[in-house]
A and B are shown apart, each in its own frame.
Chain A
Amino acid sequence: MKQKRFSWQRLVHARLFMPLVCLAVVLLANVIRTPDFFKISLNNGVLYGYLIDIINRSSELVILAVGMTLATAASGGQDISVGAVMAVSAAICCQILSGGEVSVTSLAAPIILAALAGVVAAALCGAFNGFLVAKLHIQPMVATLILYTAGRGIAQLVTRGQITYVRVDAYKVLGGYIGNCPIPTPVFVALIVVIIMAIILKKTALGLYLESVGNNGKASRLVGLNSALICFMAYVLCSILAGIAGLVASSRIYSADANNIGLNLEMDAILAVALGGNNLGGGSFNLTGSIIGAYTIQALTTTLYAMKVSADQLPVYKAIVIVIIVMLQSPIFRSLIAGMKHKRTVTVNEK
């Protein structure tokens, strides 16, 4: 008897239990409302369906969430500049591609080069953030607030206050489709980022270092870890990933819209990390959880749009749902449904 209870407890306390439950709940709500939610069809050689849409639209968020998870783990704070950094990277890339024109139909430079420049610009933003956080020990939120507000201004400067359009098919690939592939490219980009990150975490000691530094920086230094450098690198990495996400977002609309690319996405990324069961105070992290969190949030957004909630009201509804989900995740609630302690009679269904 004890054995059985124990396994239920184990399940509830498993790190991915709650993130998965949250995702399931959101998806379930959709199925009840729209029975053909899971239906996927092939139109004009391209996959269609709610699910495909959610997975496609989540791509940037997934990429951001990966970076945000690392920055959070190492510093115990969040990088709120990622949305603005997306805009910077997009602006640089598009500006190079257009050669300074407002709208072009032919490329002024190779795409690879321009994309690289965009990512490098993002990395520089990350270096700035990392310097403030790791070297000057400024609170991450405050440190990244600088680029959060200035980033879009920089992007505007780069594009000279205009929306730069790159109306070239080759540039639409990243946010569209590769040749006749029925699956949208952003899905692959997110997948590749996740796979590369997973390999890095599996093959190097980065994960251990990040957790150690985020958990106890002083002790980490004494065991030979360069706490400041590791924290710095986490912020650079976070911004590089934001830069890549920015390129995807820009390719979707084949332009650099400094005001709208990645708008409010930093908040979604932080939420994804929180939903993933990560401790926002740093230390141990759970990348899979964050990724599930990202999909959950996008599913929620898509659902709310489908329910005809306007973009302006969206945050309110999102906030309500998030509050509920975060409460579900709290240790107290978990203990409650795990039926621990005195409440032996609590059963599974009572929840």
Chain B
Amino acid sequence: MSQPVILTMKQISKAFPGVQALNQVDFCLRQGEIHALMGENGAGKSTLIKVLTGVYQMDQGAVWLEDRPVQIRSPQEALSLGISTVYQEVNLCPNLTVAENLYLGREPVKHGRIDWKESIRRAGALLNKLSIAVSPSAMLDECSLALQQMIAIARAVDMNCKILILDEPTSSLDDEEVAQLFALMRQLKQAGVGMIFVTHFLEQVYEISDRITVLRNGERVGEYDTSALPRLQLVAKMMGKDFNDLAVIQAAPKGQVDSTSPPVIEARGLGHSGTIKPFDLTIHKGEVVGLTGLLGSGRSETVRTIYGADRPDQGSLKVNGRPVKISQPLDAMKLGMAYLPEDRKKEGIIPELSVRENIILALQAKRGLFHLMSRKEMEEAADRYIELLQIKTPSRETPVKSLSGGNQQKVIIGRWLLTNPDYLILDEPTRGIDIGTKTEIQKLVLELAGQGKAITFISSEIEEMLRTCSRMAVLRDGAMVGELAGDQLTQAQIMQTIAGGKTVQEDK
């Protein structure tokens, strides 16, 4: 690897009130290289990237492009220097069309006016080239999260960049889309684009990256050639201690399924027209049931219907053997349900509120307007879950929006655990969560099941589901098409059912 260096960052420091997010970090990127930036939640990855793209101003340090020192004061400036970014949270305008989003701020102009036809045409060509299946004139908010992510990437790629930054671009993509993205990245690599790639998926790092820089607690641990750094060592470097995720999981007790008492959840023909066809689902105490299927197959829609986030318009639901009618989430919560939604930014966090308020919010809502929790109770609850989930935050009064992505997710997990639910719905709970914590969460799920809670677990990572679930329901095109349990729970069998190759005997 003796490609010329195109970017050097030296001794970068950046502090926020209460945290030293970066402490004298060095980083360098070569031409045509894919450089993975690794670290736990809150290690400073996104901050380093935002310093580079001019979103934040560094307190100390210097940046060179090739051998030219540069000052990057704004994202526009970064763009004009050839640095494009796809941020962790999709950053597009939901009320504009795909084409408008692609060319926002640099619309093709003819006779002093925006040439819409041209922009649609160019957008079409671009999407085509990257094989992204979406019409340029579709509204962005009609696109799935994955599609939005791809569009954000397309926008970045189209800007003729020399450096492309991808901050957890794959966390909401399925395998096929990841493969597509990687193909695209390799194509760009050939063209000499240097890429900084942030992810918590180790497999992806080993599949695509050339070198790895590891951050821990805002400091650089080191820079390594990917081929020279075995997986376990990488994890050890990130966490600062040795770690074996499988051992942790196996140590956790598997839940004892209690099928003598009536099932916690018993859905019969429950459905919501337009999103999910009528389905049957039974979950007992101590059971972890996974929902699997491709993106858009109706996994989230299924649980939303049970929880009353989308009001079911057919079928019946029994909770602990008693027929119930749920017309809004509060009803479900009062029946002991909890729902961690998939889209953390839109449906999870209340950005301006503090970590404390975010944690106690669900419990407070359950108790009602007139039973305000005492300040002390709130603080104890917040502290308990900050400690239990190891949420990295300067204080419990910090607005949750200034936490790192993974730590925001932990706050929401804490919020639901605090309500002490009997039935816990986890929709992609480990998205954007670092490897150590991911294992902790899987362990937690098993522990909760061991305590007799019923759990529905949704994840795009099949391995993760295999570790935690005792049964899995498979969805395809908005319908539940089968259930797998026991010996059938193998990766091959699941993939096959998802793809719909073979009919699976239903065991109810």
Contacts and interface: CB of A to CB of B under 8 A. Distances in A.
Interface residues of B, number: 30
A224 B346 contact: no
A126 to B, nearest CB: 18
Contacts of B357: 208, 211-212
Interface string A276-317: 000100011000000000000000000000000000000000
Contact of B364 (A203, A205, A218, A221): A205
Interface string B70-86: 00000000000000000
Given A222-B341, A224-B330, A224-B362, A215 B370 contact: no
B328 interface: yes
Interface string B177-190: 00000000000000
Interface in B364-382: 364-373
A212 B346 contact: no
Interface in A194-219: 203-206, 208-209, 211-212, 215-216, 218-219
Nearest to A9: B17
B369 A209 contact: yes
A209 B350 CA distance: 11
Contact of A206 (B330, B333, B341, B369): B369
B108 interface: no
Nearest to A6: B17
A6 to B, nearest CB: 9
Given A226-B328, A284-B353, A219 B347 contact: yes
A222 B370 contact: no
B352 A223 contact: no
B352 A283 contact: yes
B366 A222 contact: no
B397 to A, nearest CB: 12
B365 A284 contact: no
Contacts of B328: 221, 224, 226
B436 interface: no
A223 B350 CA distance: 11
Contacts of B57: 341
Contacts of A218: 346-347
B401 to A, nearest CB: 10
B146 interface: no
Given A208-B357, A226-B328, A220 B350 contact: yes
A223 B372 contact: no
A223 B361 contact: yes
Nearest to A202: B372
Q: Which 4 A-B pairs have the closest CB atoms?
A: A224-B330, A224-B365, A223-B362, A283-B352
7 contacts: A203-B372, A204-B369, A211-B352, A221-B309, A221-B328, A223-B329, A279-B352
Given A204-B370, A209-B365, A283-B352, 9 more contacts: A205-B367, A205-B370, A212-B350, A215-B353, A216-B351, A220-B350, A221-B329, A222-B347, A224-B329
